[in-house]
Amino acid sequence: MRKIIFLLAVFSIMSAPLFAAEAWRAPSKQQIDAVYSPAETLYEELHRNPELSFHEQKTAAIIADQLRKLGLDVTPNVGGTGVVGILKNGPGKTVMIRAELDALPVPEKTGLPYASHVTTKNDQGVEVPVMHACGHDLHMAIGVGTAALLAQNKDRWHGTFIYVGQPAEERIGGAKRMMQDGLFTRFPTPDYALAVHDTSDLPVGKVSYTPGYSAANSDSVDVTIFGVGGHGSQPQSTIDPIVIAARTILGWQTIVSRESDPQEPVVITVGSIHAGTKHNIIPDEVKMELTVRTYKDDIRKRVLSAVERVADGEAQAADAPKKPLVQVTEGVGAVYNDPKMTGELAAALKRVLGDSNVAEGRPMMASDDFAEYRTAGIPSTMLSLGAVNTEKFAAAQKSGELLPGPHSPFFAPEREASLRTGILAETAAVLELLGN
């Protein structure tokens, strides 16, 4: 009898940490308070010192140092400037969070006391301003806050946590480079990948989720139209590539309006067109740069083919000397949030933040190379984090004012509330996935 009682006692002691871990689904306000101050300091430091895509050496070093101090096993220079931090805590699931390291060539106009005044030369040697205009500094600080809470409470969860500081999201190339450098072979392969992205479409304190497609395939296409140049007063002696380009641009829009199912979103935008040197000279060629956005892979393939077909047809109709040159210069797949994973996270976040603060969002036609992890076979979810002052958001909703959003020189997340909600939401999401 004594032996049975002893074994029951031992079993109870051994089981206690596991049950505690299963019960811990969100940090308390006191725990958020404890990590907030260093997260805020980190955020301001990152915001003051932004770096362009593939040049994030200082940013990567800061993140690597923060993760080492928390006890993570850190590997720098993955895929260039990428950082991988690993926190192992016994058997269990492996959950990866992604935080972007890079900033944008945008002049900051927020007037914040910690605003960026950085300028640097881009890859073309042109001096440009640099700003964290998309919230990547916020995402990095939230991720470090999440890592801090997990590191300080290892007795309350089990599994493996991975912090991925990813370069060059803005140039949709960093995720691919990290994977080519062994992100999922040199390090534990995640069971889940998670990202948080701020938005001006929600006030602070609120989070949205989008099951299925949430961001689009994105393809950058360069098109050169060839003609026969000459004097502007004698167009009959030329084949004007500017006219061909104008007809081509209008023709591309019929791919959207007359060749595509209205219920399957397609966007074709000509963002750049360059030709000629003077008023009275018809040039030999026109160069255009397009962005093409879709969701489904079959539609992506069809639309890209149609872009080339229309360009060829207009050139042939004008008797151009040769076919246009059409090149897809970069591309990334759609962000597809695993429906089962997303549903579980939505339920968990509603328990933590309250039903009224968690809602289903709409898909967007913007893109993010977080999609690459899903393409590699990792169930993934990206959550949207409200970043606008509550009063300003309510006033804008009433007046119809357009608030500055990501990529605007005036975009500035509401710092404290965004950080606190982001750390709480991301930590709760990680714990929910580890608990599975």
CATH number of the domain bearing residue 297: 3.30.70.360
Residues 312 and 393 both lie in one domain: no
Task: Give yes or no for a contact between 206 and 357, defined as CB atoms under 8 angstroms apart.
Answer: yes
Task: Give yes or no for a contact between 424 and 142, defined as CB atoms under 8 angstroms apart.
Answer: no
Q: What is the pLDDT of residues 394-430, one digit of tens each?
A: 999 999 999 999 999 999 999 999 999 999 999 999 9
pLDDT (mean) for 280-289:
98
Q: Around Cβ 152, how many Cβ atoms within 10 Å?
A: 15
Residues 222 and 204 both lie in one domain: no
Q: How many domains are there within the chain?
A: 2
pLDDT (mean) for 146-175:
96
Residue 198 included in any domain? yes
Q: How far apart are CA 312 and CA 326, in angstroms?
A: 9
Q: How far apart are CA 169 and CA 52, in angstroms?
A: 10
205: left (phi over 0), alpha (psi -120 to 50) or beta: left
Instruction: Give me the pLDDT at residue 435, please.
Output: 85
Q: What is the pLDDT of residues 371-386, one digit of tens each?
A: 999 999 999 999 999 9
Q: Is 90 exceeded by the pLDDT of residue 1?
A: no
Residues 328 and 344 both lie in one domain: no
Short-list 43, 88, 86, 90, CA closest to 68 = 86
Give the sign of the dihedral formed by CA 436, CA 67, CA 131, CA 121: negative
Residues 361 and 415 both lie in one domain: yes
Q: Is 60 exceeded by the pLDDT of residue 154?
A: yes
Q: How far apart are CA 159 and CA 95, in angstroms?
A: 8
Least confident residue range of 25-34, 185-194, 335-344? 25-34
Q: Is 90 exceeded by the pLDDT of residue 153?
A: yes
pLDDT (mean) for 55-68:
98
Q: What are 174's two structure tokens?
A: 């960093």
Q: Is 80 exceeded by the pLDDT of residue 39?
A: yes
Residues 301 and 235 both lie in one domain: yes
Q: Is 60 exceeded by the pLDDT of residue 250?
A: yes
Residues 342 and 304 both lie in one domain: no
Residue 3 included in any domain? no
Residue 137 included in any domain? yes
Q: How far apart are CA 294 and CA 264, in angstroms?
A: 8
Residues 250 and 194 both lie in one domain: no
**Considering 332, 352, 383, which residue would you say is the last residue of a domain?**
332
Amino acid 222 reads D
pLDDT (mean) for 145-155:
96
Residues 71 and 194 both lie in one domain: yes
Q: Is 50 exceeded by the pLDDT of residue 3?
A: no
Task: Give yes or no for a contact between 367 and 218, defined as CB atoms under 8 angstroms apart.
Answer: yes
Q: Residue 25: pLDDT band by 50, 70, 90 thresholds?
A: confident
Residues 194 and 227 both lie in one domain: no
Residue 395 included in any domain? yes
pLDDT (mean) for 23-37:
89
Residues 203 and 232 both lie in one domain: no
Task: Give yes or no for a contact between 140 and 42, defined as CB atoms under 8 angstroms apart.
Answer: yes
Q: How far apart are CA 22 and CA 24, in angstroms?
A: 6
Parallel, antiparallel, or unpaired: how do β-strands 82-89 and 73-78 relate?
A: antiparallel
CATH number at residue 394: 3.40.630.10
Residues 181 and 64 both lie in one domain: yes
Instruction: Give me the pLDDT at residue 228, please.
Output: 98
**Considering 332, 361, 394, which residue would you say is the last residue of a domain?**
332
Short-list 432, 436, 433, 411, CA closest to 192 = 433
Residue 289 included in any domain? yes
Residue 10 included in any domain? no
pLDDT (mean) for 313-335:
97
Q: Residue 23: pLDDT band by 50, 70, 90 thresholds?
A: low
Residue 33 included in any domain? yes
Q: Residue 251: pLDDT band by 50, 70, 90 thresholds?
A: very high
pTM metric for this prediction: 0.90
Q: Residue 24: pLDDT band by 50, 70, 90 thresholds?
A: confident
Residues 84 and 193 both lie in one domain: yes
Residue 157 included in any domain? yes
| Structural domain range at position 321 | 217-332
**Considering 308, 332, 356, which residue would you say is the last residue of a domain?**
332
Q: What are 108's two structure tokens?
A: 């900051």
- Average pLDDT, rounded, for the chain: 94
